Chain A
């Protein structure tokens, strides 16, 4: 055959082999080099900078009010109490009602779950169609969608209020879910389109030859290969929608306020003494969900990427 591979060893390697010097054993490492001290020093300072406020919050949330008034915000609690957490969850007052964050939590769940599911479902089909079933005007459609991602939200708020009102769903959870779904569409579609484009085109062709249609290819060929991108999309949507404040306050009524709005109302409703411990506990509770999502799915995400890399 014509294919023959010639390997030309470089002169340096040849010389080393002649002299009998060959690399052996693990590469030597110096733990305490100037470079390492700089590197880890910077990392530790940066980590402390971010962790310190969290520490203060955790510590404060477990102190009683008399202890907080002493003013030592960095000292650990002398007497650990979970009273503020219970109060933040169940009985803190917002001025309108006194059932704490729990109401906001369940509202947020009812907003986040459908918004995330619907937006990911629709966007993944969008991305799949744009990547694999190039229809006439697909590029134009995609461009318009992407431009949508660059228009500031504030510009669209009032028009959307009118649209929702005309549709009769202003102030309802349905309306808010719809708004979240639509606003997530450009970035999610981009995400899915790029991912599906990166999958080998021949797989798609083979499936078409095998007679699979649009949905069969989507569910049986594409979906099983797309776990990593679905996890990424989920992280994006869950954290984004959970942390949303603006849409929640604009498009819903007080009884449907999401957790973030509820938190704001608890912290800002001043009735006598400011209960720092309750506020801190409430804030930590609100932030717990995105934090949890990062920890759990982060690991899943890495596993998904690794599984994808092993495949031939």
Chain B
């Protein structure tokens, strides 16, 4: 794939605090990349570096194979959408959209054409004469996207654009952003702390923690084959169940033992040999455990229902099993009273095994 944005050994420190350290990242042409992490992980800082609003302490940034590390934001071919919309309060929507073009001394006819096109794509035509204070949150954010749109940029940068909106608007605008990406096919870099946004929008997700990218992969891989326990625990709601135990050998095959209970590891593809006695953590997502259903080749485990949380489409069971409390997601129609004894079967093909010390995937 053609590279659109390329970041090489990027470092940034505020005084003695290293926010980013030797970060490398390549983003393909037309790719939708999501930078995901909790607050303070450096994801917004990275985005601001790409935008040229923060000067990196070290390293270089390339956009369209051009070194833009020391370029002004306007010369980088980027447009940016902010969490607080950042619309100019004294200007009408139309002026907000055309401000950047006027600054660039573009002819009036061309400005009008671009504003008309952007307002058609985003359906904000009727709002053009209004001031930002007369718009709703969703409309404001649409105008903010329009401001990036009119500039006809190569790369769109989104800095938590939906975080100030309520849940309903957020899911609506999420779909619109995805549709926008499908029709424009621009490169988009999107910062968020919301895993739903990340999983739904991204071609690839980069999960960040303390300025380091923990895993960079497509949503499916991130979800099903997390590289370490941080990624595994960060993605998924409720979080992945972690069972602490060790590897033992039974009948020539490695098994996982936790609190005296054996788990067959048949179906799990380990990247290395599983040495008996090694302390490991077994990670199983709530929906990868079957209740009172058999999985061929999997062990059956006895467990007791502790709490039931019906959520409509799903039903979430909190179970006591082998000294652990674990969550299991089943279909909403299947109900279990607290105290019921159930049989569990683990789908090892979708489970993850981590080293207890390094927390890395085995």
Cβ A312 vs Cβ B89 within 8 A: yes
Cβ B99 vs Cβ A210 within 8 A: yes
240-278 of chain B: CB within 8 A of chain A: none
A207 and B100 alpha carbons, distance in the complex (Å): 8
Contact A202 to B99, CB < 8 A, known contacts A1-B171, A209-B79, A311-B133: no
Interface string of A249-273 (1 = CB under 8 A from B): 0000000000000000000000000
Any chain B CB within 8 A of the CB of A200? Answer: yes
Cβ A202 vs Cβ B104 within 8 A: no
Cβ A209 vs Cβ B89 within 8 A: no
Contact A216 to B103, CB < 8 A, known contacts A203-B88, A206-B86, A209-B73: yes
The residue from B53, B167, B196 contacting A208, defined by CB atoms under 8 A apart: B53
Shortest Cβ distance from residue A103 to the other chain B in the assembled complex, whole angstroms: 43
Contacts of A202 in B (CB 8 A): 82-84, 86
Interface string of A188-218 (1 = CB under 8 A from B): 0000000000001011011111111000100
Any chain A CB within 8 A of the CB of B340? Answer: no
The residue from A1, A203, A210, A311 contacting B74, defined by CB atoms under 8 A apart: A210
A206 and B132 alpha carbons, distance in the complex (Å): 15
Contacts of B151 in A (CB 8 A): 210
Shortest Cβ distance from residue A109 to the other chain B in the assembled complex, whole angstroms: 32
A310 and B72 alpha carbons, distance in the complex (Å): 33
209-262 of chain A: CB within 8 A of chain B: 209-212, 216, 220-221, 224-225
Contacts of B103 in A (CB 8 A): 210-212, 216
Cβ B78 vs Cβ A225 within 8 A: no
Contacts of A203 in B (CB 8 A): 86, 88
Contacts of B166 in A (CB 8 A): 3
Shortest Cβ distance from residue A208 to the other chain B in the assembled complex, whole angstroms: 5
A296 and B84 alpha carbons, distance in the complex (Å): 35
Cβ A211 vs Cβ B80 within 8 A: no
Cβ B237 vs Cβ A2 within 8 A: yes
Interface centre among B51, B83, B88, B166, by most A CB within 10 Å? B88
Cβ A312 vs Cβ B78 within 8 A: no
Residue of A nearest to B78 (CB): A209
Any chain A CB within 8 A of the CB of B140? Answer: yes
Contacts of B78 in A (CB 8 A): 209
Contacts of A1 in B (CB 8 A): 167, 170-171, 196
A209 and B159 alpha carbons, distance in the complex (Å): 13
Residue of B nearest to A311 (CB): B89
Shortest Cβ distance from residue A192 to the other chain B in the assembled complex, whole angstroms: 18
Shortest Cβ distance from residue A307 to the other chain B in the assembled complex, whole angstroms: 10
Any chain A CB within 8 A of the CB of B209? Answer: no
A128 and B48 alpha carbons, distance in the complex (Å): 21
What total count of A-B pairs have CB within 8 Å? 73
Any chain A CB within 8 A of the CB of B90? Answer: yes
Any chain A CB within 8 A of the CB of B285? Answer: no
Residue of A nearest to B95 (CB): A220
Shortest Cβ distance from residue B238 to the other chain A in the assembled complex, whole angstroms: 10
Cβ B84 vs Cβ A209 within 8 A: no
Interface centre among B78, B103, B151, by most A CB within 10 Å? B103
Cβ A210 vs Cβ B82 within 8 A: no
Shortest Cβ distance from residue B73 to the other chain A in the assembled complex, whole angstroms: 5
Shortest Cβ distance from residue A4 to the other chain B in the assembled complex, whole angstroms: 8
Contact A200 to B84, CB < 8 A, known contacts A2-B237, A209-B51, A211-B104: yes
Residue of B nearest to A212 (CB): B103
Interface centre among A207, A210, A220, A224, by most B CB within 10 Å? A210
Interface string of A287-312 (1 = CB under 8 A from B): 00000000000000000000000111
Interface centre among A3, A200, A211, A220, by most B CB within 10 Å? A211
Contact A208 to B74, CB < 8 A, known contacts A1-B167, A2-B237, A3-B167: yes
A2 and B239 alpha carbons, distance in the complex (Å): 13
Cβ B100 vs Cβ A211 within 8 A: yes
A312 and B53 alpha carbons, distance in the complex (Å): 24
Contacts of A210 in B (CB 8 A): 74, 99-100, 103, 147, 151
A311 and B79 alpha carbons, distance in the complex (Å): 24
Residue of B nearest to A1 (CB): B167
Shortest Cβ distance from residue B79 to the other chain A in the assembled complex, whole angstroms: 7
A210 and B87 alpha carbons, distance in the complex (Å): 12
Shortest Cβ distance from residue A245 to the other chain B in the assembled complex, whole angstroms: 40
Cβ A209 vs Cβ B100 within 8 A: yes
Cβ A225 vs Cβ B82 within 8 A: no
Residue of A nearest to B105 (CB): A211
165-207 of chain B: CB within 8 A of chain A: 166-167, 170-171, 196
Contacts of B88 in A (CB 8 A): 203, 206-207, 221
A166 and B255 alpha carbons, distance in the complex (Å): 93
Interface string of B131-148 (1 = CB under 8 A from A): 011010000100000010
Contacts of B171 in A (CB 8 A): 1
Interface centre among A2, A206, A208, by most B CB within 10 Å? A206
A225 and B88 alpha carbons, distance in the complex (Å): 9
A208 and B237 alpha carbons, distance in the complex (Å): 38
145-175 of chain A: CB within 8 A of chain B: none
Shortest Cβ distance from residue B136 to the other chain A in the assembled complex, whole angstroms: 10
Given A208-B52, A225-B89, 10 more contacts at CB 8 Å? A1-B171, A205-B53, A209-B51, A209-B78, A211-B103, A212-B103, A216-B103, A220-B99, A311-B133, A312-B132
The 5 closest A-B pairs by CB, nearest first: A211-B74, A210-B100, A202-B86, A206-B86, A224-B90
6 residue pairs bridging A and B, Cβ less than 8 Å apart: A202-B86, A205-B82, A208-B52, A208-B53, A216-B103, A224-B90
Contacts from B to A (Cβ < 8 Å): 48, 51-53, 72-74, 78-80, 82-84, 86-90, 99-100, 103-104, 132-133, 135, 140, 147, 151, 166-167, 170-171, 196, 237
